């Protein structure tokens, strides 16, 4: 399997491509990373150095890949945080080029906008771009519960409301949806859930909630779920594998006391997930 991953990159820490590439490689996926920024560290520190890469330069890198004649070998185009409208245009163009070369390829979009605690932290134009142009072009999206609401103009809270919002977004294009960080009111205390919905059904998985947030965990989740699902076509199995891997990554990171994901130290969790959580069909 080959994945064209168009995301940010940092030298220190693990977000964007710096979070997604290694876990994908560890499960045997060939990754072609195209970076949209090259920062010293993620912006959560409040200070960083390095350039944003212009849309024209990002497009040029993709054109260079195309000139090697390999777009037809790409199975997945994966995108995450989009810093500006120009990058969105480049990603959509890349998706069109890849699908022209390989009609069986899919586009997996992590529509990064924010979360329930922080609200929306992207430029005002980005939610509009995602809603109107990017998400309708995607085959698979991986929003959190807050982002699902932003995409659909709803405020899903209960499981029923979340499923209704998923169906609203599936009617606009992406047939497969992974909702991360589902926090319905009737779940067990101290737990967190993820929900996957495809044409074949809907599944939910519950894990203990760890008392911290690590930047980049959503990027790892989106990458692993996408790769497992593309490889097998089994959303329930992909959900179980991604959940197991990411939970063990987060648990190790929490135990370490480190701010950054212990991405390399947790590599066996990607290659050999413990499958310790039960996935329930809805």
Query: Would you report the helix, strand and coil content of the chain in percent, each value rounded to 5?
Result: 45, 20, 35
Q: Give the pLDDT of the chain (282 residues) as one tens digit per residue.
A: 999 999 999 999 999 999 999 999 999 999 999 999 999 999 989 999 999 999 999 999 999 999 999 999 999 999 998 877 799 999 999 999 999 999 999 999 999 988 767 677 777 888 889 999 999 999 999 999 999 999 999 999 999 999 999 999 999 999 999 999 899 999 989 999 999 999 999 999 999 999 988 999 999 999 999 999 999 999 999 999 999 999 999 999 999 999 999 999 999 999 999 999 999 999
C-beta of residue 5 within 8 angstroms of C-beta of residue 31: yes
Nearest to 5 by CA among 49, 46, 54, 65: 65
**Kind of pairing, strands 114-115 and 106-109?**
unpaired
Question: How many C-alpha atoms does 136 have within 13 Å on its Cβ side?
Answer: 7
DSSP string covering 41-69? S-GGGS---SPBPPHHHHHHHHHHHHHTT
DSSP string, 127-171: HHHIIIIIHHH-SEE--BHHHHHHHHT----SHHHHHHHHHHHHT
Among 96, 24, 107, 94, residue whose Cα is nearest residue 65: 94
Which DSSP symbol is given to 276?
Answer: -
Tokens of 113: 């906008």
CA angle 180, 186, 192 (to 5 degrees): 30
**Partners of 4 in the β-ladder:** 32, 77
Q: Where are the domains of the chain?
A: 2-281
Tell whether domain 2-281 is in CATH 3.40.1190.20: yes
Listed in sequence order, the residues at least 6 apart from 82 whose beta carbon sits closer than 8 Å to its beta carbon are 36, 88, 91, 112, 122, 126, 129, 130, 134
């Amino acid at each position: 399997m080959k994945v064209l991953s168009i995301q940010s990159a940092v030298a220190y820490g693990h977000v964007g491509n710096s979070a997604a590439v290694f876990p994908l490689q560890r499960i045997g996926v060939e990754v072609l990373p195209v970076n949209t920024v090259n920062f010293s560290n993620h912006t959560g520190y409040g200070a960083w150095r390095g350039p944003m890469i212009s849309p024209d330069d990002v497009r040029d890198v993709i054109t260079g890949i195309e000139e090697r004649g390999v777009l037809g070998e790409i199975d997945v185009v994966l995108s995450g945080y989009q810093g500006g409208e120009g990058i969105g245009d480049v990603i959509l163009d890349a998706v069109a080029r890849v699908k022209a070369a390989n009609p069986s390829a899919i586009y997996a979009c992590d529509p990064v906008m924010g979360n329930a605690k922080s609200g929306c932290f992207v430029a005002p134009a980005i939610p509009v771009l995602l809603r109107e142009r990017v998400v309708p072009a995607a085959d698979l999206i991986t929003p959190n519960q807050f982002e699902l609401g932003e995409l659909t103009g709803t405020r899903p809270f209960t499981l029923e409301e979340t499923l209704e919002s998923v169906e609203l977004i599936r009617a606009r294009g992406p047939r497969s949806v992974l909702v991360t960080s589902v926090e319905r009111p009737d779940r067990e205390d101290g737990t967190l859930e993820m929900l996957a919905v495809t044409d074949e059904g809907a599944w939910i998985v519950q894990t203990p909630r760890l008392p911290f947030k690590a930047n980049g965990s959503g990027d790892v989740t989106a990458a692993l779920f996408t790769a497992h699902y593309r490889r097998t076509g089994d959303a329930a199995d992909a959900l179980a594998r991604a959940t197991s891997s990411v939970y063990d990554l987060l648990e190790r990171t929490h135990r370490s006391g480190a701010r950054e994901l212990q991405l390399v130290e947790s590599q066996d969790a990607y290659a050999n997930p413990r499958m310790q959580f039960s996935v329930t069909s809805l």
